[in-house]
Chain A
């Protein structure tokens, strides 16, 4: 372990300084590993493994059947190749599909029973599982807000959920927030009703695999008319080597409810690539609103492109009810390869979808990411703001679909996707699909690609900033629209991330 990591765990040290130093030394600061005794399922995937995962979670029979039918379908599928990413073939039989800390064999009854090593892991990541009023991103900055902002966390470690905070307080409001394995056992009627209705098990190669082997994830149900009293968050950590993480998130916002949901993810540095194939489904009923924010910071591989996470994720929100609303915000800085298109199905009349994204690719990273806005209902609105930043020899692609169906009268879409290239070895690409099938809708798409403006650079330098500071500032300005859409907890982290990810790319 390097000195920098030790600095980080100390309290009272200026976080900015740590970040700056860490950035200069080129460290992925979450790259350490927790030494903990693990229990694995045998490598590879087959019906026995699917049954084993189902059994570990004490699932009812219908769930096991659901998985098995997905697995059967998956065997007939081929990996998609249309994305502008290149990576060596993945041997799907050379991955552990299930890994859990030994201490999790008996599900802890409360957070007090959780293995201290696990708690320590999350503490080190800046995600305290002890029920504290604030998230670490804000810690060490200005004084916390007077009454304290509360964020409930579901912590997923490799294949299992370690614990979920604030469950009692949430339950008092009627909100269900637990791991999906618990939900399958305790709320089967809800899971049965909604699971797979937004991303069906047949959706695509990775989603089908996920349907068969997902081990855990988060479940959220917000009852009608309830405004979730605090922000909910899931923190995903891959720790064990050669494992794949397959988590499944299901969020249901019933009529007139509101929830803001945050997701974070990190993994240790390793020489071999690891697979992460998640599915997120969101159902939004009449007048409900969901905000889903992600800071994706999986290990991106080293500067030579060795190791890193393959992040192949299917995320989709279904605005079923009239006037429902969803907002995706993502900051993509990690992962060796990203394949991710958080989408909105705007089924209800007057429903709204928004997508804000910053994707940063440095060194050998490859990102192919974007969104789909499927307008089905009348007067639906969508907005896409995507900022892609490429440095090193990275490739960054925006891929998106805006579709206005014949019945989606009077709908609107505005898309803006900009790319910034830092250095002449990287690439930035834009692949939008626009399908308009009625004339009362309006679709606008614009995109630009540019390099950092010399005048802006000169101005910053003439004010005494060094080159890297200047680049970070200009890039932050460029990405501001997206950063402003993030919840406060993430905005701070995201700004720091922007600076870190671009480190070393100038000159």
Chain B
């Protein structure tokens, strides 16, 4: 279908004044290709099917809606020994970061990789993103490929002894950040990747992840706590034979969050788990999880576990899909999206989809929405637990299934404590 004129015009207007960073030949080609694709596709509009519940205006507009920068880094995962790579307003800060060497991982800054004439990232940058455009348009990710200014390329060749931590800091109230990371796990390798903080007042972050046979990636992402930030993230993954990808995201604040997770299972016996918890308070909180998992191999296992706690007119959105291609027999797909609405005005909008072309599979999805269970609350109160504490207890129990998706118990415990703190503050 031809692009509607109104969309073509809006896209053209938005692109005025945007410049692609200077790069080596391969990267320039990839970026130019992305720009052409973006012009052909157009930027998202709230009338698009995949934006029916989330107005993309804050994410695509030419103007950045300001968000007050938190001057201090969020202290998180402090007990964990790790290598930290720090980005301030979307620019890598070598001085603040740890020494970027870790046995088993080759770490290159995106700008350096793209300045080179030849780099392994060539095979992935914009490639998984392109594959992830079918059948659903993801124009913000294309825009990212074309205009990303920084990021990191990780080539995992072994099993590093400690996690790698990408830590974002915001220093300007109006920073508009476009970051693009590329992660390549060789066969049999393993990495834990932590991603924390608020990249900018507005940010667009893309992660392309290639998990080769027998490799494992754990990804844990507590998103920044700045109240008025707007963020769009995309994680594009390709998962090989007997490989494992587990990704978990926690969002506690933010005006607008759109997290897209797109995974293609191309090898047999692969495992993909994606989980998310969001807790939101106030009418300025809008959180959208959009997930698309494609099974194109035998015996695949996928789980989508998303839980939301919403109050004071906060809005939660879940759009999930399991696509089982013809021949992807013995697939085990599971999808659950639940929300707990703590008061009358909160809303939850969901579209949990299945599309299945193989007969010997077990796929299930569930979605529930409702208030806190009065009977359980009454029980706790009758045992002398104060109301607020009882609510917190029940809410944490509700969130537990999603937190269980985090393999590292210490990390899970820390996030759980943070949630408890948030619930106490917003009781």
Q: For residue A440, which residues in chain B have a CB less than 8 angstroms away from its CB?
A: 344, 371
Q: Are A425 and B326 in contact (CB under 8 A)?
A: yes
The answer on a CB contact under 8 Å between B368 and A442 is yes
Q: Which of B342, B345, B347, B351 interacts with A433 by CB under 8 Å?
A: B351
A438 contacts B326, C-beta separation under 8 Å:
no
B187 within 8 A of A: no
Contact A446 B341 (CB under 8 A): no
Question: Which residue of B is nearest A433, CB measured?
Answer: B351
The reply to whether A421 and B349 contact each other, CB–CB distance below 8 Å, is: no
A449 in contact with B354 (CB, 8 Å):
yes
A449, B361: Cβ atoms closer than 8 Å: yes
B29 lies within 8 A of chain A by Cβ: no
Interface of B is mostly: strand
Tell me, in angstroms, the Cα distance from A432 to B362 when the chains sit together. 18
The CA-CA distance from A426 to B362 in the complex, in Å, is: 15
Interface string of B346-389 (1 = CB under 8 A from A): 11111111111111111111111111000000000000000000
CB of A448 within 8 Å of the partner chain: yes
B368 touches A443 (CB 8 A): yes
Residue of A nearest to B346 (CB): A439
Asked if A441 lies at the interface with its beta carbon under 8 angstroms from chain B, I say yes
Instruction: Pick the residue among B356, B360, B369 that contacts A428 (CB under 8 A).
Output: B356
Q: Is the CB of A427 within 8 A of B367?
A: no
**Could you say which of A82, A427, A445, A447 contacts B357, with CB atoms under 8 Å apart?**
A427
A423 to B365, CA, bound (A): 22
A82 touches B49 (CB 8 A): yes
Query: Is A192 positioned at the interface, with any CB of B under 8 Å from its CB?
Result: no
Q: Does B241 contact A (CB under 8 A)?
A: no
Nearest opposing residue in chain A for B347, CB measure: A437
Residues 408-433 of A at the B interface (beta carbon under 8 Å)? 409, 419, 421-433
Within the complex, what minimum Cβ distance (angstroms) separates B9 from chain A?
21
Inside 8 A of A48's CB, which chain B residues have their CB?
none
Does any Cβ of B come within 8 Å of A451's Cβ?
Answer: yes
A170 contacts chain B at the CB level, 8 A cutoff: no
- A441 to B369, Cβ gap below 8 A? yes
B331 → chain A closest CB, angstroms = 10
Q: Which single member of A409, A431, A442 contacts B370 (CB below 8 Å)?
A: A442
Q: Considering the chains assembled together, what is the distance between the CA atoms of A419 and B353 in angstroms? A: 13
A432 partner, pick from B342, B348, B353, beta carbons under 8 A: B353
Q: How far is the CA of A82 from the CA of B370 in the complex (A)?
A: 30
A42, CB-defined interface residue at 8 Å? no
Pick from A82, A431, A451: contact of B351, CB under 8 Å: A431
In this complex, what residue of B is CB-closest to A409? B344
CB-CB < 8 A to B359: which residues of A?
421-424, 426, 451
Does B100 lie at the interface of the complex (its beta carbon under 8 Å from any beta carbon of A)? no
Nearest B residue to A396, CB-CB: B356
Contacts A432-B351, A446-B364 given: A439-B357 contact, CB under 8 Å? Answer: no
The answer for the CA separation of A492 and B366 in the assembled complex, in Å, is 33
B343 within 8 Å of A by Cβ?
yes
A-B contact pairs, 26 of them (CB 8 A): A419-B356, A421-B359, A424-B327, A425-B326, A426-B359, A427-B356, A428-B354, A430-B354, A432-B350, A432-B352, A432-B367, A434-B349, A434-B350, A435-B347, A435-B350, A436-B339, A439-B343, A439-B344, A442-B370, A443-B367, A445-B365, A445-B368, A447-B354, A447-B365, A447-B366, A449-B362
Contact surface of A with B, Cβ cutoff 8 Å: 82, 84, 406, 409, 419, 421-451
